[in-house]
Structure 1
Amino acid sequence: MSMPVAPPHILIADDEHGQRVLLDMLLSTENYQITALADGREVLTYLQTHTPDLVVLDIKMPYVDGLQICERMKRIQRLKNVPVLIVTGLRDEQTTEMLKWVKPDAVIYKPLSGKDFRATVRALLATKQG
C-alpha cells in the first residue's frame, strides 16, 4: 500500500495582507499547502526549519527584502534548489539589475493575471519534481 503523496508546500511572503490573501485565493483551487508570512525576518526564521516546494516572494518587505531572501536561499545547500517566484510591482532599472544578479526562477509583475500566476506556479513545481 503506497503512502499518500503530500500536497506541494508553497510559502508566500508579502507584507501586504491583501496581496497574501489574493495569492492564497488564486492557489486555493489547487491541492497546495500554503504558508503565508508578512515579513522577511519571519521568512528566514521559517526557512531554518522548513523546506517548501516553492517560495513566492514580494521584493519590498520589512526587515529583509525578497531579493535578499532569494540570494540567501541560493547559498544554502538544503534550499538552493527550491524554486523562487518573485511577484513585484517594481520595474525600475535598479530592480531589473538586482533580479539579473539574484536570479530567481521566475518573475511576475503586478498587477498579476491569476491565470499566468497559477501556470507559473505549476511549471515551477513541475521542474522541481521532474
Structure 2
Amino acid sequence: MKQLLSDKDIAQQNLSEEQIEKEMDRYEKETKKYAIWDDTITKGFISWLKGEKIYDKDKKRISFYVDEDVSDKWQEYMETHKQYSTLSKLIRAAINNFIEQEEKSSKYQKFAALSHDLKQPLTAIKGFSQLIMESTYSEKLSEETLSIIKNIFDQSVLLEKKIRGVENNTPSAEFDIDILLIEDDHATINLITTYLKGQGYKCKGVSSGNTALEIIDSRPPKLVLLDILLPDISGVDLCKELKSKDKYKNIPVYFLTGLPESDVKEAVSEANADGYILKPFNLADFKVLFNHLDKVKE
C-alpha cells in the first residue's frame, strides 16, 4: 500500500495507514476540502491533523502591506482596546464600521433632502394661511371659510413640529461630538446646545435615549450629559449600559436632572456616573464638563 504521509508526519500523529484514511474521510466531510489533490497530501489536511484551525471553504484570505509606523499605530491601539485581540479582528471591525457609516450618511442625506422638499411647500401653506387670517381681507370671508383656513394653519404647524422632531432624533452625518445631550425638553436642548457651541464645543442634542445609543454606537462622544427621566429609557439604565461595555466605559457620563439631590446622588452611585448638574442650573455649573473635556485633551 502506498504510504500517504511521510514517516515524520505519521510519527507525529502516531497513526496507522488505515487510521489516516479514516481521518481523510472525516476531514473531507467536516471541512468540505480535499485531503488529496493531484496525488499529493494537502497542507490543509496535515494542519488539520495537528489540530490547527481550518477556515471555512467560503472564506477568502486577503493580505496587504502597510508602513511600519501604521502597523505600530494599530498595535498601540490594540493595547488600549483589548476587545481587538488580533490585527485581523481590528481591520474587520474598522472596515465594517466604515461601511456602516457610509450607509448611515447616505440615509441621512436622503432624509435631509426629503425634509427640505417637505418644508418648501409647507412654508408657503403656513405663510399664506397666516397672511389671510391676519389681513383685512379676512373680514370678507365667512366664519366657515376662516375656520377651514385656521385648521390648515394649525395642521401645518403640527406637521412642522413633527418634521423638526424627526430631525432632532435622526443621527446626522457628523462624525465628532464633544458633548452628547439627551434631554426630552426641546427648549432646554436649544438653550444648552447654543451655550455649549458658543463655548467652542461640538454638541449634539437628542430627546430619545434609544437615538442616543445609536449615535454613541456609530461615533462615541467625548462626554454624555443626560436627563434621568426620559420618555423611552431611564437615564440610569442608559448610563449602566454604557459603563458595562469596554468600548464605552471610559466616556464620562453626567446627569442633568430636576430630581432631589439625595435621589440624584443615589442614581450616580448606582449607575457609576461621573457627576451631575441640578435643574434649574446656572451656566457656570457646566464648568465641570469643560474641566473634564480639557483633561481628555491632555
For the criterion TM > 0.5, the same-fold answer is yes
Q: How many residues align?
A: 124
Higher share in strand: 1
Q: Assess if the C-alpha contact under 8 Å between 2:183 and 2:227 holds in 1.
A: yes
Partner of 1:3: none
In the alignment, is residue 102 of structure 1 matched against residue 271 of structure 2? yes
Instruction: State whether residues 15 and 39 of structure 1, in contact with CA within 8 Å, keep that contact through their aligned partners in structure 2.
Output: yes
* Structure 1 runs not aligned, ≥5 long: 1-5
Which amino acid in structure 2 is aligned with residue 42 of structure 1? T
Q: Which residue of 2 aligns with 1:79?
A: 248
Q: Is residue 176–residue 221 contact of structure 2 (8 Å, CA) maintained in 1?
A: no
What CA distance in whole angstroms lies between the structure 2 residues aligned with 1:104 and 1:129?
Answer: 20
| 1:71-105 superposed Cα distances (whole Å, 9 cap, x missing partner) | 11111111111111111000165543222111211
Pairing 1:31-42 to 2, within 5 Å after superposition: 31-42=200-211
In the alignment, what sits opposite 2:289?
121
Q: What's the TM-score, normalizing by structure 1?
A: 0.85
The percentage of aligned residue pairs carrying the same residue is 27
Is 1:17 matched up with 2:186?
yes
Rounded Cα–Cα distance in structure 1 between residues aligned with 2:215 and 2:197: 22
Question: Post-superposition shift, 1:25?
Answer: 2.0
Ranked by relative contact order (alpha carbons within 8 Å, sequence separation 6 or more), the top structure is: 1
The one-letter amino acid paired with 1:124 is: H
Asked if the contact 2:258–2:280 (Cα under 8 Å) also holds between the matched residues in 1, the reply is yes
Unaligned runs of 5+ in 2: 1-174
Distance (whole Å) between structure 1 residues aligned to residue 271 and residue 203 of structure 2: 24
Larger Rg: 2
Question: How many Å separate the matches in 2 of 1:104 and 1:55?
Answer: 10
Report the alpha carbon displacement of residue 127 of structure 1 after superposing the two structures with TM: 2.9
Decide which of 218, 226, 229 is 1:60's aligned counterpart.
229
Of 73-82 and 7-16, deviating more is 7-16
